[in-house]
Amino acid sequence: MASLKVVDKEGKQVKEVEVPDGIVNQEIKEDVLHLEVRRYLASLRAGTHSTKGRSEVSGGGRKPWRQKGTGRARAGSIRSPLWKGGGVVFGPKPRDYSFKLNKKVIRKCKIMALSEKFKNNQILIVEEFGFEEPKTKKALEILDKFNLKDKKVLVVLKDLNSNEARSFRNISNVCVSSVHALTTYNMLVAEHLVFTENSFNEFVERLGNGRS
């Protein structure tokens, strides 16, 4: 069974945590990952766009001129799609873009994303941050020690109301997530994943118990 180093805030190794073989040896299926990313992004779409058809725009109750004899093209309504101010043909209407995937597939995608980061040495586990109060400057110093100051980082914590979460979320290139809200998309987009020891153990346990 493989393992990952657990370091303190200064970068010194204090222990190791085991990584299950199911994560280490997980086969990466890009087509399945693509489907999960599409599902997640589709769920974020508001779908509130709307246009008016010719039956919805105002006016157009009377034929603008007689059918023949004027020399102009025949017209039945000033609200024809051909006219300025007319209705829109096949325009977008409010709709729900989201679609469902099997929970097992969503869970498997999270395992694949975590496995990819493990194979590329892009996972950092910190024993604990121990912020006594929210301090963005202190969070930046920690990232600088791990050479992550200019990287796109995903910090995974157990509690989003903690001082650590309030400190890291003020940094533009850092995304903060709880274990329960961690998504495949966020893991793939980030260049590095930073876990606390507790959050990593909980996430691996959730994946092992079949929870996504």
Tell me the per-residue pLDDT of 122-168, one tens digit each, with 9 for 90 and over.
Answer: 999 999 888 889 999 999 999 999 999 889 999 999 888 889 999 99
**What's domain 2-46+97-208's architecture?**
3-Layer(aba) Sandwich (3.40)
* pLDDT score at 177: 95
Q: What residue type is 123 in one-letter code?
A: I
Cα 119 to Cα 203: distance, rounded to the nearest angstrom = 18
- Which of 1, 3, 5, 24 has its CA nearest to residue 127? 5
For 76-131, write each residue's pLDDT tens digit: 999 999 999 999 999 999 999 999 999 999 999 999 999 999 999 999 999 988 88
Residues 172, 182: Cα–Cα separation, whole Å = 19
- pLDDT score recorded for residue 131: 86
Question: If you ran DSSP here, which 8-state letter would residue 87 be given?
Answer: P
Lookup result for tokens 């989201």: 98
Where, residue-wise, is CATH 3.40.1370.10 in the chain? 2-46+97-208
pLDDT above 70 for 70? yes
